[in-house]
Chains A and B, each alone.
Chain A
Amino acid sequence: MSAVPLPAADPVLEVEDLRVELRTPRGTAHVVNGLSYAVGQGETVAVVGESGSGKSVSVLAMLGLLPPRVATVTGRAVLQGEDLLTMSPERLRQVRGPGAGLVFQDPMTSLNPVLSIGKQLVEGIRAHDDVPKAVARRRAAELLGEVGLPEPDRALDRFPHELSGGMRQRVVIAIALANSPALLIADEATTALDVTVQAQIIDLVERLQADHGTGVIWITHDLGVVAGIADRVLVMYGGRCVEDGTADDVLERPAHPYTRGLLGSLPDLAAPLDPDGRVPDLATVPGLPPPPTDLPPGCVFWPRCPVRSDPRCETEQPPLVTVGPGTPGRHGHVGRVLEHRAATWYQEGTAR
């Protein structure tokens, strides 16, 4: 077994050097700066980062959902052999449903409040599949049953406000899955939900993924969720990937100072107590992320880095390089070793 670079064996999606610039009153915002990754069949890739890291903008850009007057998108985003970034708007519309389903954070704003659940599902199905209404309606009811909505036939005639947050998010997932997409993108899909409901939704997505072999991009800031669902993790900071690898490598053996800071700022119940018998303070990352209109030269994390020491930190952007032996892959990667990479000049033993 030899270590292979991150692209999956038979990728559903391949992103190459994706860059997004937004025109803002404060100048050009460099929101995504050279992002490359791939998602394999049945694989879950978690994209992790805090607000402003570019994680949501990167998927909006791929799907052509950014206003073209403001956004400049370059690079390649190949979904099942076709580059989304060079596609005509009509072709993109055709591809979106059966190609990629999207689930956003807030189910109340992604559903139309004045249309019944059934209308919204039927519309989604018929937009990509020319079937009679009655057939689409039957399929809609099946989908609602599949995502665990009680009494799916009656639920079709209900309106979004009549459902709870968890039920609404199930409806959004049903719509996203209506055309059996090869790729499902969940952007903070469980963030607004209670933990018990979040557990239900995660179970649901994992079950559907196992049944249909869907590739999943799960965008989140919750590293606990990542640990449970992700095959691979990509940590974003300042619009760049600063670390990637299997969930085990990135979460248990983080190499980048930012990933370490992020993990250290989570309350850990296994942490030893202070001498005075108290729970120790949380480690924090001092300062704030740089504004995308004014990124530092060199390493993007340099101004906040607690272990900066290399003279190159300030001037030279560190490349993503292998930092460990990697770990054996799971879904779609069985029998292969997946690399663990980080972009930092920091090396173990040279701290401060």
Chain B
Amino acid sequence: MSDILVSARGLEVHFPLRGGKGVLRAVDGVDLDIYRGETLGLVGESGCGKSTLGNALLRLVPPTAGTVTFDGTDLTALGRRAMREMRRRAGMVFQDPFASLDPRRTVAQTVSEPLEVHGLRSGRRERAARVGELLELVGLDPAVAGRYPHEFSGGQRQRVGIARALAGEPDFLVCDEAIASLDVSVQAQVLNLLRRLQRQLGLTLLFISHDLSAIRHISDRIAVMYLGRIVEIGPASAVGSTPQMPYTQALLSAVPVPHPELERTRQRIVLRGDVPSPAAVPSGCRFRTRCPAAFEPCPDVDPALQPVGTAPDHVAACHLHGVIGTPVDGRTAEDVSAAPVD
């Protein structure tokens, strides 16, 4: 049994634009390994492709290129029946607990549906007992099983969503902005719950969020995404405290912390302009148009992930650490780095 549960190689999800005006490169060449039992935090700004990547890993959107393997099996080659078993083993918790629960179904109906679909419990009584267990697991009173979503607060609904995701006894759970629409004190409750469940059930978690503080709190490793690519990935402590890629540095410096003295004195890196459209990705390094440290090779060589910093397994795609990558228009990396400065 390998240590890697989920793996992507050269993964691309491109959407054709209306009227044949090119493609939107939502996920644009991602290599990623998620280890068994770890929590991987995936962070990035809106439109960077983090949700699409999460969906592609579960084959909820078909990749246009590349492969995804789940526990050694190539998902892109799976048939219907095998895909159904895969779906049982991978669950998803969505952002909006108001939109992701059917308002006309009771909590029991919602949570027991996966049990029926996957034939996990035969008989109504067994299923009801399992629903009770699942509700207890996420910190809800099993007595609420007969209630409807509108009778719950946002945090309680999110617990129902988590119970549903756990019903199939998955190995892998994708949480896509699962705490974004909750109040601060409720966010803390759900974060604690996810951490407890991860430990208790040995889950592998992909925690997708734009909230770096939450990501740093819950993750073993952090992956940073920008315009469809992972631009830095490594242990949470290394990426969180000594980021090596200028984008990660800017992102971290922009996160406000609740300490007035610190906020008044620290230097914030304010990035210029907006994120370019994923339909018009800049050549070479895709961050170069906003990068405060961009230099000559950046437009000409598409940077590859390379070891950075002092922590093992900390990699970043940035020429500041050495010009390595795929040259644009056929030049070699050496040509570019040897080119005269004008």
Q: Please determine whether B188 and A283 come into contact, CB atoms closer than 8 angstroms.
A: yes
Q: Are B259 and A251 in contact (CB under 8 A)?
A: yes
B191 and A267 contact, CB distance less than 8 A: yes
Say yes or no for A112: interface residue by CB 8 A criterion. Answer: no
Q: Which residues of B contact A266 (CB under 8 A)?
A: 184, 188, 213, 258
A60 to chain B, nearest CB (A): 20
Which of B46, B213, B260, B273 has the most chain A CB atoms inside 10 A of its CB?
A: B260
Task: Check if B74 is an interface residue, CB within 8 A of chain A.
Answer: no
Query: Given A51, A200, A227, A285, which contacts B256 in the complex, CB threshold below 8 Å?
Result: A227
Is the Cβ of B255 less than 8 Å from the Cβ of A200? Answer: no
Chain B residues within 8 Å of A252, by CB? 259-261
* Residues of the B chain whose Cβ atoms lie less than 8 Å from the Cβ of A247: 260
Report Cα–Cα, A285/B254, bound state, in Å: 27
A195, B255: Cβ atoms under 8 Å?
A: yes
Partner of A228, one of B195, B210, B256: B256
Q: Interface on chain B toward A: helix, strand, loop, or mixed SS?
A: helix
What 1/0 flags go to A262-279 for Cβ under 8 Å of B?
A: 111111010000000001
| B254 CB to nearest A CB, Å | 4
Q: How far is the CA of A349 from the CA of B261 in the complex (A)?
A: 27
Q: Which stretch of B6-14, B28-36, B263-271 is in the interface?
A: B263-271
A150 to B272, CA, bound (A): 11
A106 to chain B: which residues have CB within 8 Å? none
Binary contact readout A46-73 vs B (1 if CB under 8 angstroms, 0 otherwise): 0000110000000000000000000000
Contact with B along A157-196 (1 / 0, CB 8 A): 0000000111100000000000000000000000000111
* Chain B residues in 8 Å Cβ range of A251: 258-260
Complex contacts, B281 vs chain A, CB 8 Å: none
The one of A50, A164, A195, A227 in contact with B185, judged by C-beta atoms closer than 8 angstroms, is A50
**What residues on B are CB-neighbors of A246 within 8 Å?**
260
* A227→B183 contact, CB < 8 A: no
Q: How far is the CA of A140 from the CA of B183 in the complex (A)?
A: 37
Picked from B46, B214, B217, B256, the residue with its CB within 8 Å of the CB of A194 is: B46
Whether B192 is near chain A, meaning CB under 8 Å from some CB there, is yes
A227, B271: Cβ atoms closer than 8 Å = no
Q: Is B294 an interface residue (CB 8 A)?
A: no
Within 8 A of A (CB), among B81-109: none
Query: In the complex, what's the smallest C-beta–C-beta distance from A236 to chain B, in angstroms?
Result: 13
Query: Does A9 lie at the interface of the complex (its beta carbon under 8 Å from any beta carbon of B)?
Result: no
Closest beta carbon of chain B to A210's beta carbon, Å: 14
Q: Which of A18-26, A27-35, A218-226, A337-345 contacts B (4 or more CB under 8 A)?
A: A218-226
Q: Is B320 an interface residue (CB 8 A)?
A: no
Q: Which of B224-263 contact A (CB under 8 A)?
A: 240-241, 250-251, 253-263
A285 to B268, CA, bound (A): 31
Residue pair A200, B185 in contact (C-beta under 8 Å): no
Cα A260 to Cα B262 in complex, Å, equals: 19
Residue of A nearest to B154 (CB): A51
Q: Are B274 and A198 in contact (CB under 8 A)?
A: no
The residue in chain A whose Cβ has the minimal distance to the Cβ of B45 is A194
B130 within 8 A of A: no
Whether the Cβ atoms of A284 and B189 lie closer than 8 Å is yes
In the complex, the answer to whether A285 meets B185 with C-beta atoms within 8 Å is: yes
Which chain A residues border B185 with CB–CB below 8 Å? 50, 261-262, 265, 284-285
Contact across chains for A164 and B256 when beta carbons are under 8 A apart? no
Does the CB pair B258–A248 fall under 8 Å? no
Contact B260 A227 (CB under 8 A): yes
Question: Is there a chain B Cβ closer than 8 Å to A199's Cβ?
Answer: yes
Q: Mark A199-220, 1 if CB is under 8 A from B, else 0.
A: 1100100000000000000000
Q: B residues touching A (Cβ–Cβ < 8 Å)?
A: 45-46, 153, 155, 183-185, 187-189, 191-192, 195, 210, 212-214, 216-217, 240-241, 250-251, 253-264, 268, 270-271, 273-275
Q: List 26 A-B contacts (CB under 8 A).
A: A166-B274, A194-B46, A194-B210, A195-B212, A197-B274, A198-B256, A200-B271, A226-B258, A227-B256, A227-B257, A228-B260, A228-B264, A246-B260, A251-B259, A252-B259, A262-B184, A265-B189, A266-B184, A269-B217, A269-B241, A282-B192, A283-B188, A284-B185, A284-B188, A284-B192, A285-B185
Given A248-B261, A266-B188, A266-B213, 12 more contacts at CB 8 Å? A150-B273, A195-B255, A200-B271, A203-B270, A222-B256, A227-B259, A252-B261, A267-B214, A269-B216, A269-B217, A283-B188, A288-B153
The 3 closest A-B pairs by CB, nearest first: A224-B256, A265-B188, A267-B217
